[in-house]
Structure 1
Amino acid sequence: MRKIKQKALEAKGWRVGSAEEFLELAPEEIAFVELKLRLSDALKARREKLKLSQGAVAKQLRSSQSRVAKMESGEASVSLDLLVRALVSLGATTNDLAKAIQSKKKHVAA
């Protein structure tokens, strides 16, 4: 957030902070959420690189397009094993998974 906007919000009585502060997440909870988001981002990037629709990926996973959308958006109901299974089904190797986990890219919510 730009400093100017932050100061304007604070001047009006708003408190500006992070999601972690607001939700009072422990460091291990933050790490878990970030891991899921990195894998979600990797899934979307791999699908797009392969020029596949969410529907095509869903068919391959025997799932639904809406479930794939939830996987790509980092929905809380999506498990790590489902994300990993989806990535592997799209050809991701263990090295690809390691790179995704190590990614420093911040997840951007749509």
Structure 2
Amino acid sequence: MKTAKRKKLETAGWSVGDAADVLGLTPEEETYIETKLALAKKLKAVRQSHKLSQAAFAKRIHSSQSRVAKMEAGDPSVTIDLMMRSLFAVGVSPKQIGKVFSTA
């Protein structure tokens, strides 16, 4: 947000912050969420680059279409472990996953 707009909102009595401020997240929690969302984005990009539907991708990783949808959405019920194993199952290397972590 531009500084001028931020000052205008604060002058009007608004509190300006990000999602972490609103939710009261610790830096560790914020990093965890950002990492999970980066993995979700990578998972979807890999699936689409292979021109696979969620159902076809699910078959390749021995899962269900609904689980793939949840992984791509970063659903809280999905573990980072499952997301990483799914990426490995479709040929993503540890080095490529490391790049995901470095951009999170």
Q: How far did residue 53 of structure 1 move?
A: 0.8
Query: Is residue 51 of structure 1 aligned with residue 43 of structure 2?
Result: no
* 1:74-93 pair list within 5 angstroms: 74-93=74-93
Q: Note the alpha carbon deviations across 1:63-103, whole angstroms, 9 max, x for none.
A: 21111011011111110110001100110001111011112
Alignment partner of 1:100 is 2:97: no
5+ long unaligned stretches in structure 2: none
Q: Deviations over 1:14-70 (max 9, x none)?
A: 544311011100011111111111111111111111111111111122221111011
- Written as runs of structure 1 = structure 2, the 5 A alignment for 1:59-74 is 59-74=59-74
Aligned residues: 103
> In 2, Cα distance between the equivalents of 1:60 and 1:77?
21
Q: Distance in 2 between matches of 1:63 and 1:14?
A: 46
Kindly provide the amino acid, as one letter, of the partner of residue 61 in structure 1.
I
Q: Which runs of 4+ in 1 moved over 6 A?
A: none
- Distance in 1 between residues matched to 2:84 and 2:91, nearest whole Å: 11
| Pair member with larger Rg | 2
* TM-score, normalising length: structure 2: 0.83
The one-letter code of the counterpart of 1:30 is E
Q: TM-score, normalised by structure 1?
A: 0.79
- 2:49 and 2:76 map into 1 onto residues whose CA distance is 25
Q: Which runs of 5+ in 1 are unaligned?
A: 105-110
Taking only aligned residues, the RMSD between alpha carbons, in angstroms, comes to 2.3
